Amino acid sequence: MSVQVFGLPVSRGVAIGRAVLVASSWVDVAHYFIEADQVGPEIRRLKAARDQVCREFEALKLDVQGDTPAELVALLDVHLMLLHDEVLASATRQWIEERHYNAEWAVAAQLETLSRQFDEMEDEYLRERKADLEQVAERLIRTLAAHSGHGDASALGPVVSCEGDVPVVLVANDISPADMMQFKGGVFRGFVTDVGGRTSHTAIVARSLDIPAVVGARDASRIIRQDDWIIIDGDAGLVIVDPSPMILEEYRFRQRQGQLERDRLARLRHRPAVSLDGQRVQLLANIELPSDAAAAVEAGAEGVGLFRSEFLFMNRGGRLPDEQEQYEAYRDVVIALRGLPVTIRTIDIGADKPLDRMSLSELRHEHSLNPAMGLRAIRWSLADPGMFMVQLRAILRAAQHGSVRLLVPMISHPGEIRAALDMIERARESLRRDGIAFGDVAVGAMIEVPAAALMLPIFLKHFDFISIGTNDLIQYTLAIDRADESVAHLYDPWHPAVLGLVASTIQATRAAGKEVCICGEMAGDAEFTEMLLAVGLRSFSMHPSQLPAIKQRILRTEIAALEPQAALALVGDDPRAIWAAGRVRALAAIAQVA
């Protein structure tokens, strides 16, 4: 029977596929398809891992002392029995033979299937045997991962790209941004999570992957079963489980229509973004990894307005990238942009983008109760000057290869301004002493907290340009955790305070003769394009996939005709309603003149 699950739409489009359920403790299991000729070797790899775990358990039984509790020996016997169970082994092999899953994925898929069966058992003793199954499966997956090229025994491997015959979608309680980054170019056509908000970093990365996604779907991971056919409607925030043939065909038609629309918009790729009244607008790209640079150029971006450098630091088992590795990554982006400007944001770690546990324990020594308000972004960098110096030197070295702008996140105190600029100057001096070539960089600051917006005149004295991070600015202005679906309805970009801070920052920065850009989610949301143009914004930075739709909106806008209505909306109680009504009147007037 078909079931509907509702959540928050965070990445548009339609995805149709088989559900791959990933419990939170299994999120790092490698997921990739194998070729047909690899089925035999993969099954042999699975058997070899099973045999190795069996030998380890047998050795443990031989090593136990005479005073070892009998229950421990019995537990080992249970685990050995599970490993030797031919029905279990056959079911796991079936995932490899029929779906072409890799061995780790096959074990995790079968575990999820059996876990549901154990949960439904009436006998309490039998239900508790689920823990034994999980322990055996974990040991087996770790053994497989330790002897593969797809990860180590602790991380359990990344998601890698391969083509398969069966489309799959990911269903989980939650997915960290670091894990989401591993899905770039991967096998999943979409994803659903129980938790999350529209502007959580997980949602942002989903949009950057340009795949349909629904978050905050509450009980999705408990309602959906492994291998269910599901539809993800990223426009409506709807997940349909076990759809009827009629519904399935309807959504397949919508998929085809969506692709036709993307193809049509792609034709605007090399057309300049100029409004109907001749206003030139700069469209830049947000990227997470050096490999994203090519997509930005291909999409017609006029540069990179935000390179989120923190993703170079994630999924590394606690080993931070050294200066040479960072330099090469930044250099590759600068060269790929072929002379176009590249804005590199210094590491923005914290909140919902932590490093892995090893790095946190080594570098922070504690766990913050409220990471969004704690040691993050520039605070984190200034607290670890050695790490910060390494990054600054790498960025300055990369600047010799092209136009580089250095962006400092989440500054809110004059002391932080002085400390950050001092560190940049010290990095220059250290490179001079070492005789290492480097280039000039423009230095900018992100406006992400109300304090920064309110002390903008001080920022404009010290920085060359301003970038508005609307995601955090909204979060901190309204005291709303943007990753918490329980307060998602209160996260409102149209709030008078938010619009007032954004508009005043744009207008004051331009009045001072300096550049201002928005790199938050508002920049890539067509609902806000005209409003932002009307209050003076002329530089937008977004994911490359969003560029065509925003460019189309700019090409159809007469900015001067909308400016009076924007001014009214900024002083009203309900900016959204005032803007919507005035926009309709303005467009009607333009149509009459035409």
| d(C-alpha 414, C-alpha 435), whole Å | 32
CB 348 within 8 A of CB 371: no
Q: CB 153: neighbour CB atoms within 10 A?
A: 14
Active site residues: 201, 519
Can you tell me the distance from the alpha carbon of 424 to that of 430, in angstroms, rounded to the nearest whole number? 10
Distance CA 238, CA 240 (A): 7
Please report the domains of the chain, with CATH numbers, ordered by start residue. 1-28+158-266 (3.50.30.10), 32-148 (1.10.274.10), 268-557 (3.20.20.60)
446 touches 470 (CB < 8 A): no
C-alpha–C-alpha distance, residues 475 and 498, integer Å: 10
Q: Which residues contact 244 (CB under 8 A, 6 or more apart)?
A: 2
Report the pLDDT value the prediction gives residue 281, as an integer from 0 to 100: 97
pLDDT at 227: 86
CA–CA separation, 455 vs 473, rounded Å? Answer: 14
Helix 70-84 with 130-146: angle, nearest 10 deg: 70
In whole angstroms, give the CA distance from residue 263 to residue 265.
6
Local structure of residue 350 (DSSP, 8 states) = B
Phi, psi (rounded to 5 degrees) for 373: -105, 5
Angle between helices 526-534 and 547-555 (to 10 degrees): 50
- The length of the chain is 594
471 is in an annotated binding site: yes
Question: Looking at the DSSP assignment, which residues form a beta bridge with residue 8?
Answer: 215
Please say whether the dihedral angle defined by the alpha carbons of residues 60, 62, 67 and 73, taken in this order, is positive or negative: positive
CA distance 111 to 569: 55
Q: What pLDDT sits at residue 258?
A: 87
Secondary structure element (H or E) that encloses residue 83, with its range: helix 70-84
CA distance 87 to 66: 34
Whole-angstrom distance, CA of residue 410 vs CA of residue 569: 28
Amino acid at 335: I
Does 482 carry a binding-site annotation? yes
Contact criterion met (CB below 8 Å) for 137 and 107: yes
Q: Looking at beta carbons, which pairs linking 256-260 to residues 24 or more positions away fall under 8 Å?
A: 258/13, 258/14
Q: What is the pLDDT of residue 401?
A: 97
Distance CA 189, CA 205 (A): 14
CA distance 304 to 517: 11
Q: How many alpha carbons lie under 13 Å from residue 295 in its C-beta half-sphere?
A: 20
Which residue type occupies 99?
Answer: R
- Per-residue pLDDT tens, the chain, 594 aa: give them: 789 999 988 888 899 999 988 765 544 677 788 888 999 999 999 999 999 988 888 877 776 555 555 555 677 777 888 888 888 889 999 999 988 999 998 998 888 888 777 777 766 656 666 777 777 888 888 888 776 644 433 333 334 334 456 788 989 887 766 566 666 666 788 989 888 777 666 677 777 777 899 988 888 988 898 889 999 999 899 999 999 999 999 999 998 998 898 888 888 888 999 999 999 999 999 998 898 899 899 999 999 999 999 888 876 666 789 999 999 999 999 999 999 999 999 999 765 555 654 343 334 434 455 666 778 889 999 999 999 999 999 999 999 999 999 999 999 999 999 999 999 999 999 999 999 999 999 999 999 999 999 999 999 999 999 999 999 999 999 998 776 767 777 889 999 999 999 999 999 999 999 999 999 889 999 999 999 999 999 999 998 888 999 999 999 999 999 999 999 999 999 999 999 887 777 766 666 665
